[in-house]
């Protein structure tokens, strides 16, 4: 069997961008420091040299302006922009262009417009970047009709999902957890796509279902392996795309195990975790043998001190406790 090479999450994304740019001249990359600098996390490295300043555009720090420009370029039918919002926390300065413009134009125009824009952005705590550079705000996108929201956990998924996202004719918010950029995993050299809306069962199990996103997938898997030694069988599901949501895979798993724990690194109220909990009790209530448990960050801003931040992010200990409670 051929050995698949291992590359980082950041390199996998870079390959997806490179492939799409080489394939379609309409694909352009825009954002702060995406050119010569190669993106502050190195995702756009080498693209400027290969595709030139016209297609790899360094922008002023003007998120509303350049995301809006991307929306207009996409609506005109002339380009397929991949725009980088350096941190998801900067959403506030550009939110109108995302939730009022990109998300709604197609509907408001009676289906006449296509908005093929991808907004890549960086999420997550763990780098002591404090309250304005560490949040997990994916729920703010999931909440708004008209946006597709992708949040991968592995380098393999990252490459395949970014290719699908760029080829999709709808606005896609593609979220990358900053603590995953350096994570290595097997990724084929050739291009491939993973359809949006297909969850991945990262580990099969029969006693309890754990739905986890991004970095939390790794923590859930760590706990699952540990519990396996005790004979507790945990199924770990990574939705990968939050919109569209693979409701079927999640519900089937709950029906099989009868127990559900949701692990999401975000504020708890009106969150992705509460959304999945509502799904479970609405559509799989009869299968549930125990109350649904949520493991999330608390409703506080993300603290700076590593000691406090460690406490803020859902830990393997908390995940393990939650699983034991539902068993």
| Helix pair 9-23, 155-167: axis angle to 10 deg | 30
> How many other CB atoms are there within 10 angstroms of residue 98's CB atom?
28
The CB-side HSE value for 222 (13 A sphere, CA atoms) comes to 13
- Secondary structure (DSSP) of 186-216: E--SS-----TT--EEEE--SSEEEEE-THH
Q: Which of 21, 47, 48, 79 binds other proteins (CB under 8 A)?
A: 79
| 4, 78, 127, 270: residue in contact with other proteins (rule CB under 8 A) | 78
Question: Of residues 236, 243, 266, 313, which one binds other proteins by CB under 8 A?
Answer: 243
Residue 40, Cβ density class (10 Å: 0-12 exposed, 13-18 middle, ≥19 buried): middle
Q: Which is nearer to other proteins, 73 or 326 (CB)?
A: 73
59 is a contact residue toward other proteins (CB under 8 A) = yes
325 to 276, 304, 318: CA distances (angstroms): 18, 31, 11
Q: Is residue 72 a contact point for other proteins (CB under 8 A)?
A: yes
Region binding other proteins by CB under 8 A among candidate stretches 36-44, 106-114, 153-161, 205-213: 106-114
CA distance linking residue 163 with residue 292, whole number of Å: 34
Q: Rule CB under 8 A: is residue 111 a binding residue for other proteins?
A: yes
169 vs 317 by CB, closer to other proteins: 169
Q: Among residues 59 and 134, whose Cβ is nearest to other proteins?
A: 59
Q: Quick one: 28 or 215, whose CB is closer to other proteins?
A: 28
* Cα distance between residue 162 and residue 203, in whole Å: 23
Give the shortest CB-109-to-other proteins separation in angstroms. 5
Angle formed by the axes of helices 272-283 and 247-257, nearest 10°: 60
Should residue 139 be labelled a site residue for other proteins when binding is judged by CB under 8 A?
A: no
Q: Which is nearer to other proteins, 110 or 231 (CB)?
A: 110
Q: For residue 317, give every residue at least 6 positions away whose Cβ sits within 8 Å of its Cβ, in sequence order, or none.
A: none
Comparing CB distances to other proteins, the nearer of 28 and 179 is 28
Residue from 92, 182, 186, 195 touching other proteins (CB under 8 A): that is: 195
Of the candidate spans 38-46, 66-74, 121-129, 182-190, the one that interacts with other proteins by CB under 8 A turns out to be: 66-74
The Cα 185–Cα 48 span in angstroms is: 26
Task: Pick one of 40, 113, 130, 327: the residue that binds other proteins (CB under 8 A).
Answer: 113
What is the C-alpha to C-alpha distance for residues 83 and 95, in angstroms, rounded to an integer? Answer: 14
Cα–Cα distance for residue pair 149/273, rounded to 1 Å: 15
Q: Choose, by CB under 8 A, the member of 6, 24, 49, 96 that binds other proteins.
A: 96
How far is residue 263 from each of residues 189, 270, 271, measured CA to CA in Å? 32, 14, 11
Query: Interface with other proteins includes 152 (CB under 8 A)?
Result: no
Catalytic site residues?
Answer: 63, 133
33 binds other proteins (CB under 8 A): no
Q: Is 202 in the site for other proteins (CB under 8 A)?
A: no
Number of chain residues interacting with other proteins (CB under 8 A): 59
Look at residue 325 and give its three-state secondary structure: helix
Q: Any contact of residue 55 with other proteins (CB under 8 A)?
A: yes
Answer yes or no whether residue 160 interacts with other proteins by CB under 8 A.
no
Interacting residues with other proteins (CB under 8 A): 28, 54-55, 57, 59-60, 62, 64-79, 81, 93, 96-97, 100-101, 105-114, 145-146, 148, 168-170, 195-199, 241, 243-248, 278, 282
């Amino acid at each position: 069997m051929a050995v698949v090479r291992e590359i980082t999450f950041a390199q996998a994304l870079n390959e997806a961008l490179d492939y799409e740019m080489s394939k379609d001249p309409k694909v352009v990359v825009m954002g702060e420091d995406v050119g010569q600098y190669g993106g502050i996390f190195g995702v756009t490295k080498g693209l400027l040299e290969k595709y030139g300043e016209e297609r790899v555009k360094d922008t002023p720090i003007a998120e509303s302006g350049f995301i809006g420009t991307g929306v207009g370029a996409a609506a005109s039918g002339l380009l397929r922009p991949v725009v980088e919002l350096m941190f998801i926390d900067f959403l506030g300065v550009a939110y109108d262009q995302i939730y009022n413009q990109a998300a709604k134009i197609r509907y408001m125009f009676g289906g006449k417009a296509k908005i093929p824009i991808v907004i890549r952005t960086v999420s997550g705590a763990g780098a002591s970047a404090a309250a304005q550079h560490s949040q997990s705000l994916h729920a703010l996108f999931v909440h708004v009709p008209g946006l597709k929201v992708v949040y991968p956990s592995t380098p393999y998924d990252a490459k395949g999902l970014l290719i699908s996202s760029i080829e999709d004719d709808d606005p896609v918010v593609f979220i990358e957890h900053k603590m995953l950029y350096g994570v290595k995993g097997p990724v084929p050299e050739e291009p491939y796509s993973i359809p949006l809306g297909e969850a991945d069962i990262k580990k099969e199990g029969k006693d309890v279902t754990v739905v986890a996103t991004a970095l939390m997938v790794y923590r859930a898997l760590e706990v699952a392996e540990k519990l396996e030694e005790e004979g507790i069988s945990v199924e770990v599901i990574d939705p990968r795309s939050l919109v569209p949501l693979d409701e079927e895979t999640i519900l089937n798993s709950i029906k099989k195990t009868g127990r559900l724990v949701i692990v999401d690194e975000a504020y708890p109220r009106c969150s992705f975790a509460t959304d999945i909990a509502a799904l479970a009790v609405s559509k799989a209530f009869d299968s549930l043998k125990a109350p649904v448990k949520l493991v999330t960050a608390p409703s506080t801003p993300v603290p700076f001190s590593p000691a406090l931040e460690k406490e803020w992010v859902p830990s393997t200990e908390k995940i393990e406790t939650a699983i034991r409670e539902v068993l």
